[in-house]
């Protein structure tokens, strides 16, 4: 009975929101990649240069995440959609361990489900873009790709923390993340595929069952998130702190995070 009660008391609504949000983000993102780079589709003839198509990829891929962030489900869970972001919030003391695990499981399952749906919808076109897998850019050494993923994830998490530590900037966090990630996809995709997100890389690797060089995306993005937390603490010097664990915080949604410094509905016991 105690075990059942403890399982029942977990925050399944938030974990489910992360699963659905990650599924939505991956499905939209992988669909636009397929439309822009799939063999036999008209975009490659309408826009021959790869750079504009990468920018479109970034704007729509990251834009779907931003849209989910301001949706009811995103307002509920905080719309991390990324194990590295959840890890950073946990390291910063904003998440309970069981919620961190629930979020990460939801994000990985969502990435696999989103990839599977993209394969079901677009079939050979999706296969022609190698299942949208993240991979090393041609001509770039392994160490350079590794550092690129560390640096980009570091910038992403640090930027989120900076915005969420200022009351007047908090509301603009989804817009900032949208534009920042879109730029990173545009400039970084030829180097590393711009993962920033271990779940994003695991989804297609799992569906295609192809794991070549995928260890890099298990290590580099979390390392970038860890460095961002350390640098934020160093720069803040105890004078500033992350105010919430949500990327878009509104007071009329319940909040399961710890040490929240802005108004919110508390979880009902």
Say if residues 246 and 263 touch (Cβ distance below 8 Å): no
Q: Does 136 reside within a domain?
A: yes
pLDDT at site 9: 83
Cα–Cα distance, 47 to 36 (Å, whole number)? 9
Rounded to whole angstroms, how far apart are CA atoms 24 and 67?
10
Give a yes or no: residue 5 inside a domain: no
pLDDT given for residue 268 in this prediction = 59
SS (H, E, C) 112-161: HHHHHHHHHHHHHHHHHCHHHCCCCCCCCCHHHHHHHHHHHHHHHHHHHH
**Is 94 part of any domain?**
yes
Answer for the pair 247, 78: CB distance below 8 angstroms, yes or no: yes
- Pairwise CA distance, residues 234 & 221, whole Å: 20
Side-chain half-sphere exposure of 4, counting CA atoms within 13 A:
1
Q: How many domains does the chain have?
A: 1
For residue 150, what pLDDT is reported?
Answer: 98
Q: What contacts 147, CB < 8 A, 6 or more positions away?
A: 220
Domain range holding 247? 10-266
Distance CA 199, CA 43 (A): 28
Q: What is the mean pLDDT of each run of 10 residues along the chain (269 residues)?
A: 65 98 98 96 92 97 98 98 98 97 98 98 97 97 98 98 96 98 98 98 98 97 98 90 97 95 78
Say if CB 243 and CB 164 are below 8 A apart.
yes
Token pair, residue 239, equals 């004078």
Strand partners, 254: 265
DSSP 169: T
Cα distances (angstroms) measured from residue 3 to each of 215, 259, 268: 35, 27, 20
* Structural domain includes residue 3: no
1 found inside a domain: no
Q: How far apart are CA 220 and CA 203, in angstroms?
A: 17
Residue 262 falls within a domain, yes or no? yes
Q: What is the CATH number of the domain that holds 248?
A: 1.20.1080.10
42 domain-assigned: yes
Which pLDDT does position 205 carry in this prediction? Answer: 98
Distances (CA, A) of 146 to 131, 192, 198, 212, 230: 21, 8, 13, 14, 19
pLDDT given at position 1: 42
As a whole number of angstroms, the distance between CA 139 and CA 153 comes to: 22
Residue-level pLDDT at 7: 79
Q: Check: CB of residue 57 under 8 Å from CB of residue 33.
A: yes
- CA 111 – CA 166 distance, rounded (Å): 31
* 113 part of a folded domain: yes
Q: Are 207 and 109 spatial neighbours (Cβ–Cβ below 8 Å)?
A: no
The per-residue DSSP string of 189-240 comes to HHHH-----HHHHHHHHHHHT--TTTHHHHHHHHHHHHHHHHHHHHHHTTS-
């Amino acid at each position: 009975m105690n075990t059942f009660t403890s399982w029942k008391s977990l925050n399944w609504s938030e974990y489910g929101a992360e699963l659905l949000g990650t599924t939505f983000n991956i499905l939209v993102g992988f669909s636009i990649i397929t439309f822009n780079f799939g063999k036999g589709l008209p975009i490659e003839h309408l826009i021959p240069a790869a750079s504009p198509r990468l920018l479109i990829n970034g704007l729509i891929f990251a834009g779907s995440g931003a849209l989910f962030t301001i949706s009811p489900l995103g307002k509920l869970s905080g719309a991390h959609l990324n194990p590295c972001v959840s890890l950073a919030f946990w390291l910063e003391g904003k998440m309970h361990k069981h919620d961190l695990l629930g979020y990460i499981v939801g994000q990985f399952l969502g990435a696999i489900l989103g990839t599977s749906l993209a394969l079901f919808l677009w079939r050979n076109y999706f296969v022609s873009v190698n299942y949208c897998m993240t991979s090393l850019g041609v001509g770039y050494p392994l160490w350079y790709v590794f550092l690129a993923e560390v640096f980009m994830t570091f910038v992403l998490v640090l930027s989120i923390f900076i915005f969420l530590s200022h009351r007047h900037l908090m509301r603009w966090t989804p817009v900032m993340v949208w534009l920042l990630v879109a730029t990173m996809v545009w400039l970084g995709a030829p180097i590393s595929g711009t993962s920033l997100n271990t779940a994003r890389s695991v989804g297609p690797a799992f569906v295609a069952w192809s794991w070549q060089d995928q260890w890099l995306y298990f290590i580099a993005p979390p390392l970038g998130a860890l460095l961002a937390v350390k640098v934020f603490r160093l720069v803040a010097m105890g004078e500033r702190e992350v105010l919430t664990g949500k990327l878009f915080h509104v007071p009329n949604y319940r909040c399961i995070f710890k040490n929240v410094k802005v108004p919110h509905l508390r979880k009902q016991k």
